[in-house]
Structure 1
Amino acid sequence: MQDGAPDDPSDAKTVWAEQRTDWAEDRTVLANERTFAGWLRTGLASVAVAIGLKALFREAEIDWLPRAMATLFLVAAIWIYWIARNAARRTQSRLDAHGAEAQPTRTYTLTAGILTVATVGVAVVLWRL
C-alpha cells in the first residue's frame, strides 16, 4: 500500500485517520502561537495609542488627564499580554505536537514579562515628560 500503510485496507484507514488527526493537532498548535502573537500585537497597539494620546494632548490645560488616559491604555496592554499568555499556555497544555515544534510554554511567560517591563517603562517616561 502507499504511504507505508499496512496491507489490510481497514488498518490503512485507521493509520490515515490517525495521521490526519495528528496533522490537525499540529495545525492547532501553530494556530495557538499565531493567536498569541495577535494578542501581543493588540497589546502593543494599545501602547501606541497611549503614546499618541500623550503626543496629541501635550498642551492640554489639565496636564494629568492625557497621562491618566494614556496610563489606562498601558494598563490594558499589560492585561492583554497576560490574558494572551494564560490562554496560550492553557491551550498548549491540552495539545500534543506531532510534526510541528511548539514553543515552550515558558516562552509565553518570558515574552509577556518582557513586554510588561517595557510597557511600565513607557508609563514612567510618559509621566516624567
Structure 2
Amino acid sequence: MADFRNQERSLGQTRTDWAERRTALASERTFAAWGRTALSCIGVGLAATQLFGDLEPRWLLRVLTVGLVALGVLVLAFGFHSYRKSARDLESSGEHTLSLWWIGAFAVVLSALGIAGLFLVW
C-alpha cells in the first residue's frame, strides 16, 4: 500500500513539473509574439517613408513613421516586462527559463535598430 502512495506522489510531482515546463514554454512563445509584433510595427514604420515618400504634408509622414517605431519599442518593452514577471514567478518554483539577460539584450538591440532606422530613412 505504501508503495502505491509513493507512485501516486511521484506521478503527481511529474505532472506538476510538466505543467511548470509548459508554462515556461508558453511564456517564451508569448514573448516571441510580442517581439514579432514589435518588429512588424518598426518595419511598417520604416517602410512607410518609402511607400508614401511623396505624401503631403511632410510632417504627417514623419509623425506616422516615428509613431509606429515608438509603438514597436513600447510593445517590446511591455513584452519584456511581462516575460520578466513570468520568469521570476517560475524561477521561484524552481523552473528554469531563458535568461533574462538574453531576452533583455534582444529587446535592447531590436529597439536600438528601430531607432537607428529612423535616422537612415529620414
> Do Structure 1 and Structure 2 share a fold, with TM-score over 0.5?
yes
Which residue number in structure 2 is paired with residue 24 of structure 1? 19
Q: Identity across aligned pairs (percent)? A: 27
RMSD: 1.6
What is the CA distance between 1:104 and its match in structure 2? 0.8
Which residue number in structure 2 is paired with residue 60 of structure 1? 55
Which residue number in structure 1 is paired with residue 42 of structure 2? 47
- Give CA deviations for 1:48-91 in whole Å, capped at 9, x if unaligned: 21123222211123222112111100000000111111110110
1:14 aligns to 2:9 (yes or no): yes
Structure 2 residue identity aligned to 1:51? L
Q: Which runs of 5+ in 2 are unaligned?
A: none
Aligned residue-pair number: 119
Which residue number in structure 1 is paired with residue 82 of structure 2? 87
TM-score (norm 2): 0.90
Where does structure 1 differ by over 3 angstroms across 4 or more consecutive aligned residues? none
Q: Which runs of 5+ in 1 are unaligned?
A: 1-6
Structure 2 residue identity aligned to 1:94? D
Contact 2:46–2:69, Cα closer than 8 Å, also in 1: no
* Structure richer in helix, relative to its length: 2
Larger Rg: 1
TM-score (norm 1): 0.85
Contact 1:57–1:66, Cα closer than 8 Å, also in 2: yes
